Amino acid sequence: MAAKRRKSAKGKGADAYLRLIEIGIALSAERENDRLMERILLEAKDLCNADGGTLYLVAEDEGLKFEIMRTDSLKIALGGTTGKEITFPPVRLYDPETGEPNHKNVATHVALSGESINIPDAYKAKDFDFSGTKKFDEGTGYRSRSFLTVPLKNHEGDVIGVLQLLNAQDRDTGEVISFGEDIQPLVEALTSQAAVALDNQHLIDAQKQLLDAFIELIASAIDAKSPYTGGHCQRVPELTKMLARAACDSDSPLYGDFDLTEDQWYELHIAAWLHDCGKVTTPEYVVDKATKLETIYNRIHEIRTRFEVAKRDVEIDYLKAMLDGKGDAKKLKKKRDKSLARLDDDFAFVAECNIGGEFMAPEKVERIKEIAGRTWTRTLDDSLGISQDEAKRRVGASDGPVAALESLLADKAEHVIHRDPGDAMTDDNPFGFRLDVPEHKYNLGEIYNLCIPRGTLTPEERFKINDHMVQTIVMLEQLPFPKHLRRVPEYAGGHHETMIGTGYPRKLTQEDMSIPARIMAIADIFEALTAADRPYKAPKTLGESIRIMSFMKKDQHIDSDLFRLFLESGVFKEYADRFLKPEQIDEVNVSEYL
């Protein structure tokens, strides 16, 4: 008979340890924090057949915070996945006035000592204060009896939480009994596994929060770097997620297979925030180039000084002629005034061309070249005080005499900044870039810049701005993204591609691009059109922006089906209500563009 009982007990023990293994596997597989904490408590309750239990977590500077509460007989279920908030304040570990540790409360004592406490009957306990428990019982008619309170320790031995079980019950009779000495080690083993799972989840969450914060920091830094980008890096992710959600919810067969898991949503979130990370490599003086002659500063001031020198030369020539009696005074004065007026007019023309515009007429280009033919006299050595880089660019150029005639406008050898050999983009590059790379890195020539046909950017500068997409892809491809984030470079790197292979940097077509990548292209364009924080342009109204994008759709620069979804779903209006100024929001007849 005794042998049979020993065999039965041995069988139960084996079952219990098998159950612990199953619980450990289940806990390690759970990734959602609330579900994980809830499972810890429910598995512990089930293991002991306890009527109730509470899971506390140690909160910095607060004490023990209630996370999950269950009491089956009272139908109490708070915290976790219930959606019902626990309103009890945290239980303080230390007295706020004296700083003394709180050993009166059994849960805080366990958190402070790291030792388990098994109490057969709370009403007979002398070492701990159960007055709050008794008051609760009076109000509910409940009888709190047996308590098993166990610490949750992480891999470093620090207590990160406390599990408290209430009223163990006999499985056959339902009678409240003490937590047996045989069950306590099993609960402690479970809490040890639970603490590891919980700590791992907290570490994962902390790493995720750090990654998110770091990514948002980079995006904010890019936006802060130049007023020309404004809040672009922060608004594009919002619009991207709106349109992606509309695609997931769409009944159209086009998006029947399109849905995003939790990991895929996070992947899209990361890609949207990093879609312009390559802009950290773009010089501000290129991004912010407001005039044709601008580099680090606006070189119109140099040219103005040359015109001032030229005007003084005219004045000096006039005065010398007067002193030497070389001509009629009235004729000399008239000649002087004509030359001064011409210089004034020529400078005003150069200054006007410097502003940039929609079109630089051929006759204006000819006049710039004509003005460049006029000279002034330099008397100081122009090789003094220059940087090493500028000196290298002058190697091989004829220095000429210290005093020399100079053009009022010039394209000099040192104005050309050559591309480093390492910057060459071969056709077999590992990233699949297909780019028309200008011969030179930059060309600062004054005539060259003043004759820019449209806007203020040279082909070299425009390439450098577009190069942010190259740098974005290169930077992201080098990061060791985990499996569930491996499409971040693809999503982030395609928002300047078109549907017909005319975009950059890879000249992709619609078939080459995923739906999220095509979504991001629409988000990027719409945000840029409607942005009200760009100092170089007035924001477009909602109607103007939609009309412009309809032309882009016809030219197959954006996905026509996604543009239709953008309009039909009302995403454009939802975004406008959140981010546009009231005066930008006008009526849009969607049917005109479908």
441-494, pLDDT tens digit by residue?
A: 999 999 999 999 999 999 999 999 999 999 999 999 999 999 999 999 999 999
Q: Give the pLDDT of residue 6.
A: 40
Q: For 2-204, which CATH superfamily applies?
A: GAF domain (3.30.450.40)
DSSP 8-state symbol, 90: P
Instruction: Look at the alpha carbons of 27, 28, 30, 33 in this order and tell me if their dihedral is positive or negative.
Output: positive
- Whole-number Å distance between alpha carbons of 115 and 538: 67
Q: Give the pLDDT of residue 397.
A: 59
- Dmax (CA) for the chain in angstroms is 143
For residue 395, give both structure tokens: 């190697």
C-beta separation of 439 from 339 below 8 A: no
- Whole-number Å distance between alpha carbons of 428 and 437: 14
For residue 434, CA distances in Å to 360, 470, 511 come to 30, 10, 17
Q: pLDDT digits over 504-557, tens only?
A: 999 999 999 999 999 999 999 999 999 887 666 778 999 999 999 999 999 999
Residue 424: CA count within 13 A, CB half-sphere: 5
Q: pLDDT digits over 320-343, tens only?
A: 999 998 889 999 999 999 999 999
Stated pTM of the model: 0.77
CA angle 514–472–248, rounded 5-degree value? 25
Helix intervals (H) in 101-183: 106-113, 131-140
Q: pLDDT digits over 404-434, tens only?
A: 889 999 999 899 999 887 777 788 888 999 9
For residue 576, give both structure tokens: 């406008």
Comma-separated ranges of CATH 3.30.450.40 domains in the chain: 2-204
pLDDT at residue 399 above 60? Answer: no
Q: Give the pLDDT of residue 192.
A: 80
Q: pLDDT digits over 2-13, tens only?
A: 444 344 444 455
Closest CA to 556 of 507, 502, 512: 502
303-307, 572-576, 587-591: least confident range: 587-591
Specify the CATH number for 229-284+457-593; select among 1.10.8.640, 1.10.540.10, 3.30.2420.10, 1.10.3210.10.
1.10.3210.10
pLDDT band at 307 (very low <50, low <70, confident <90, very high): very high
DSSP 8-state symbol, 82: G
148 SS3 class: strand
Comma-separated ranges of CATH 1.10.3210.10 domains in the chain: 229-284+457-593
52 SS3 class: strand
Say what percent of the chain tops pLDDT 70. 93
- Whole-number Å distance between alpha carbons of 463 and 438: 8
pLDDT band at 30 (very low <50, low <70, confident <90, very high): low
Q: What dihedral do alpha carbons 49, 50, 53, 57 form, nearest 10°? A: -50
More confident call, 198 vs 461: 461
Mean pLDDT of the chain: 89
587 SS3 class: coil
- Whole-number Å distance between alpha carbons of 486 and 263: 11
